[in-house]
Amino acid sequence: MDQQEFAGKVAFVTGAGQGIGAAVARQLRDAGATVVATDRNPDVVERYADAERITGLSCDVTDSAQVDAAVAQAEDTVGPIDVLANVAGVLAKGPVSSFSDSDWRFTFGVNTDGVFHTSRAVASRMIPRGRGSIVTVSSNASGVPRRNMAAYAASKAAATMFTKSLGLELADHGIRCNVVCPGSTDTPMQRAMWEHDGGGPEPILNGDPANYRVGIPLRRIADPDDVADAVLYLASDRARHVTMQELYVDGGATLR
């Protein structure tokens, strides 16, 4: 790969305060982009205070006014956005029979509404320029039923189909929209799940027949960089003829 293939480009990343979003922001920067790294957690500003070509910006994707303002600020200060990476996401687990209204709305507010808010704000600016690439980080749970994860899986399936439909709308304008579907990836979100369920990564690697869950054929939990690699590929000109696609990065866990 050309190490500087994003030279001169501007990237806007959501959920960049930690985990996969932080890896995406860092890899885009290392490949030459100037990156606006946004997160609901205001610590994101401090985190990137000394970083070269990465600016941290506090932005909650559930609030469309905040998103519009952050996108405007990014374009005013850094320049026209070439790449949008929708990475912000949340996981609330539990059986449907006792799942609360607030957990359902929280899940969809970030995972689905958030992707709509940022994609609309950025796409409306990309259209007149006739170029751009949008990548949404969904989940392999969007394509396979999971116990205790109905809200999460449904919110990610919605984000996936939204992004693919957007890709059809924007193809005329030279803008590509694709989806990365990670499996279990070693981030604070994943570790919180291990703590919640007990047992660490072993049941995930080995599979859990009682919960109709196969293991991970490649026998490893992904690193955030494994997922970021896929995001960068789809965002890059190497994928110039790829749009409306889903790329599963899950070690084979969904047997697709």
Ligand X SMILES: NC(=O)c1ccc[n+]([C@@H]2O[C@H](COP(=O)([O-])OP(=O)(O)OC[C@H]3O[C@@H](n4cnc5c(N)ncnc54)[C@H](O)[C@@H]3O)[C@@H](O)[C@H]2O)c1
| HEC profile of 123-187 | HHHHHHHCCEEEEEECCHHHCCCCCCCHHHHHHHHHHHHHHHHHHHHHHHHCEEEEEEEECCECC
* Per-state percent for the chain, helix, strand, coil, to nearest 5: 50, 15, 35
Residue of 18, 73, 148, 206 interacting with ligand X (CB under 6 A): 18
| Per-residue binder mask for ligand X (CB under 6 A), 125-144, x = binder | ------------x-x-----
End-to-end CA distance of the chain: 27
Could you tell me the smallest distance in angstroms from the CB atom of residue 128 to ligand X?
26
Nearer to ligand X, 31 or 88 (CB): 88
56 interacts with ligand X by CB under 6 A:
no
Spot the catalytic one: 152, 212, 233, 248: 152
Nearer to ligand X, 106 or 173 (CB): 106
In terms of C-beta density within 10 A (0-12 exposed, 13-18 middle, 19 or more buried), how is residue 245 classed?
A: middle
27 interacts with ligand X by CB under 6 A:
no
Nearer to ligand X, 114 or 132 (CB): 114
Residues 6+ apart with CB under 8 A from 142: 153, 156, 157, 159, 160, 181
Nearer to ligand X, 78 or 87 (CB): 87
60 interacts with ligand X by CB under 6 A:
yes
Strands 83-86 and 34-39: unpaired
| Per-residue binder mask for ligand X (CB under 6 A), 89-128, x = binder | xx-------------------x---x--------------
- C-alpha torsion 49→52→58→59, nearest 10: -170
Residue 4 DSSP class: T
- Window contacting ligand X (CB under 6 A); options: 2-10, 47-55, 56-64, 164-172: 56-64
Active site residue 152: yes
In 3D space, the residue among 173, 155, 29 whose CA is nearest the CA of residue 92 turns out to be: 155
61 interacts with ligand X by CB under 6 A:
yes
Q: What CA–CA distance (Å, rounded) separates 84 from 9? A: 11
- Window contacting ligand X (CB under 6 A); options: 5-13, 26-34, 85-93, 96-104: 85-93
| Residue ranges in 151-210 that form contacts with ligand X under rule CB under 6 A | 182, 184-185, 187-190
145 interacts with ligand X by CB under 6 A:
no
- CA count, 13 A, side-chain hemisphere, 16: 28
Residues of the shown chain interacting with ligand X in the complex, contacts defined by CB under 6 A: 14-15, 17-21, 39-41, 60-62, 87-90, 110, 114, 137, 139, 182, 184-185, 187-190
Catalytic residues: 152
